[in-house]
Amino acid sequence: MSKEIPSYRIDGVITNEKLAELKLLPPEERLKKGPVVIIECPEEIPCNICVDACPFHAISMESISSLPVVDWDKCIGCGVCVSLCPGLAIFVVDMSKDDVAYVTVPHEFLPVPKKGDVVDLLSREGKKLGKGKVTKVWERNKTYVVTVEVPKELALEVRAIWMEKK
Amino acid sequence: MEGYENETIAIALYANGIDLFSWSELGRPRGAFCMIGKCSSCFMVVDGVPNVRTCREPLRDGIQVCRQRGLPEAPTSLEAGLEYAEEKEIKTDVLIIGGGPAGLAAALKAAEYGLNVIIVEDHYKIGGQLVKQTHKFFGSKDLFGGLRGFQIAEMLGEDLKKYDNITVLTETIAYGIFRDLWVGLASRKDNTIYKVKAKNIIIATGAHENYLAFSGNDLPGVMGAGGAQTIMNEYGVLPGNRVVVVGAGNVGLIVAYQLLQAGAKVEAIVEIMPQIGGWFVHASKVRRYGIPILTRHTIKEVKGKERVESVIIVKVDEKYQPIPGSEREIPCDLVLLSIGLTPDTTLLSQVGAKMAWIPELGGLVAYRTKYQETTVPGVFVAGDASGIEEATTAILEGRIAGLSAVIRTKGKIENAVKERENYVKFLEEYRKSPLLARSREGIKKVLIE
C-alpha cells in the first residue's frame, strides 16, 4: 500500500518534477520571460482564495476543490496571491536575468526583514542553501512578502528565508 | 505574584514559570492539559474552593491559589464563601449551547429572522477555539476564507452586537435538558440558576482533545496541542522552549509552525502512520524551516522528575508495533499531543437523541437531518459536536441550524428556506474535496431523512 503514497505525503517536500507533472511549474520559456507564480498546492483543498485574489484573473479552478490552473500569459508575478494564500504555498520566481534570479516567498516570522538585509536561504526541506540579499518587502494581514536575490541555479530550490532573532 | 487583567489563573501561573498545578493521590506532579475547561488537569483550590478549573477562572486581585493533593475534602459553604444562588425562569425561541463558530453563526441567522436567542458559553468570552487560531483559514472569500481565526471570531462578535434579540450568558454552563425542552443553566458570573424554556435548542458544544497512554504522560509539560495554542496564541505566553509534537495531523502541523513563530524550537513531529495525516501545505510550511516529520514513529516514554525533561521516541513496524533497539531520546520541555478530538455530546445523549459511534467523526455523534435536526424534534446540532471537522463547516452547519430553528418556529419563510438550501448545497460542494473524504463518509452514516 505504501507504494501508492506520493512521496510528498511522507516527507512534506515536493519536487519540481512532481510540480511539473501537476502543471504547477511554469514552462521554461515562461520562466525566462520574467516574474511568474509557482503554486505548490498538489492536493484538492476546498479553497479558492487565490482565484479571487488575482487582479489579472490568471488563476482558475473548476470547483472549490480542484487544483489551481494558472494562465501563464496572464500572470505577471505581482505576488498578491503570495500574500493571501492561507497555505503559504505560493511563490514568485523571476529568472529573466542572466546571472541572478529573484524568489518571492511568504514570511511570518520576526524580525521583519528589510530591504538590503542578508538572510539565510532555505530549501523545501529546510536546508541552508546560502545567503541572499532582500530586495523587496511588503505586508498584508501580517504575512510579509519578501523578495530575495539568489544564484540563478537556486531559483527553483529556495522556498523560505530565515533571520536569527537578536 | 502578578498577572494581567482578563487572563486566567492558569495563564498567570504559566507566565510566572509555574506549570505544576497539583499532586495526584500518589504524589505524582500534575500540570494543565486542555486549557479550555474540558479536562480536570488544572484543578486547584481557589479562595478555599477546591476543584476550580484554573484555565477558566479569571484572575482577581488578592486571589489565593493553592495546589491540591489527591481528592480534596468537600468544603463547607462558609469556608468557600458561597451564597445561595438566585433562581430565574426565562423563555426563549432559541437556546444555543456553545459560543464558538457554530453557535455564533446559528445565533446570527436566527436573530436575523427576528427570533429571540440566548447563547450559553462556559468561558468568560465568546469565539470558542477561533480565538487562538492565528493562521489563515482556507475556503472561499464569502466564508471568511483568508482571514485568521481570531479575526473571524472578532467579526462574529461584532455582528452579534447588531442584534438586541441576542442575549449572551458567559461563565455559564448548561447542566441538563429536561422534559418539554426545559434547560438548566448555572451561571458562575451571576450566581444564578436559570431555568430556560426553549422552543429550539442548538447544541454547539465543540470537542475535546484526545489523550494517549505512555509512561510519564501525566507529567507537567505533556499537554494537548490546542492547550499550548491557548497559552501562546491567546495569551502570549510561551509554553515551552524545546518541543516534540505527537501526531502530524493539521492541528499538530499548525501548532508546530506557531511554536516556531513564537520562538520555540520544535525538535520533531512524530507520526505513527506511514504518511503525514494533515494537508501537504501545512507540512511543507514546517519542513521549510527544518522541522523534521518522522512518520512511522511514536512516543514511548516521557522522562522527568517534576516536569518533562526528555522524550523517548521509537520506530514502529507495519503493524504499528515498536521496533526494539530503534529508540531515541530527545531532550525537551514540552510534549504536545495532537492525536485527534472527541465531540462533546453528553447533552445530546442525555436528551435522548439517537447516537452512533462513528470513528470517522471522532466518536459518539447524533443522527441528524441535512438541516442539522437530531431525532429529538427541536434539538439541533452543529459544529464539532456533530462530528470533528473545522471552523468553516461549523459556521455553515451553524447557519443551517439557525435557519432550521427559524423555519420550525415561524413556518416556511421563503427567504429562510432558500438561504438554507444554498448553505446545504455549498456544504455538500465543500465536502466533496478528497481531503475531507473521511468526515464525508462518516456523516453519511448518521444522516437521516
Domains (range + CATH), chain B: 9-69 (3.10.20.440), 86-208+342-446 (3.50.50.60), 211-339 (3.50.50.60)
| Percentage of residues in chain A having pLDDT higher than 90 | 95
Decide if pLDDT at A1 tops 50: no
What span, in angstroms and rounded, lies between the C-alpha atoms of B300 and B408? 52
- Taking residues A64-88, what's their average pLDDT? 97
Q: Residues 6 or more apart from A108 whose CB is under 8 A from it? A: A88, A142, A143, A144, B261
Q: According to the model, what pLDDT value does residue B347 have?
A: 98
Q: Which amino acid is at B284?
A: S
Q: According to the model, what pLDDT value does residue B80 have?
A: 63
B438 touching chain A per CB within 8 A = no
Q: Does B261 sit within 8 Å of A11, measured CB to CB?
A: no
pLDDT by residue, tens only, chain B of 449 residues: 999 988 999 999 999 999 999 999 999 999 999 999 999 999 999 998 899 999 999 999 999 999 999 999 887 776 666 677 899 999 999 999 999 999 999 999 999 999 999 999 999 999 999 999 999 999 988 889 999 999 999 999 999 999 999 999 999 999 999 999 999 999 999 899 999 999 999 999 999 999 999 999 999 999 999 999 999 999 999 999 999 999 999 999 999 999 999 999 999 999 999 999 999 999 999 999 999 999 999 999 999 999 999 999 999 999 999 999 999 999 999 999 999 999 999 999 999 999 999 999 999 999 999 999 999 999 999 999 999 999 999 999 999 999 999 999 999 999 999 999 999 999 999 999 999 999 999 999 999 99
CB B134 within 8 A of CB B233: yes
Q: According to the model, what pLDDT value does residue A2 have?
A: 45
Q: According to the model, what pLDDT value does residue B6 have?
A: 85
Least Cα separation, residue A9 to chain B (angstroms):
6
| From B282, B288, B295, residue closest to A126, measured CB to CB | B288
Q: What is the CA radius of gyration of chain B?
A: 22
Identify from B245, B281, B438 which residue to disrupt to test chain A contact, counting A C-beta atoms within 10 A and taking the largest count. B281
Nearest-CA neighbor of B312 among B212, B216, B210? B216
CB proximity under 8 Å: B 252-291 to A: 260-261, 263, 274-276, 279-291
B293 touching chain A per CB within 8 A = yes
Q: Residues 6 or more apart from A100 whose CB is under 8 A from it? A: A149, A150, A151, A152
What pLDDT, in 10s, does the model give residues A3-26? 589 999 999 999 999 999 999 999
* Grid cell digits, residue B377: 424534534
Q: According to the model, what pLDDT value does residue A3 have?
A: 55
ipTM higher than threshold 0.90: yes
- Taking residues A61-70, what's their average pLDDT? 95
CB B21 within 8 A of CB B31: yes
Element (H, E) at B438: helix B437-446
Angle between helices B149-160 and B101-112 (to 10 degrees): 30
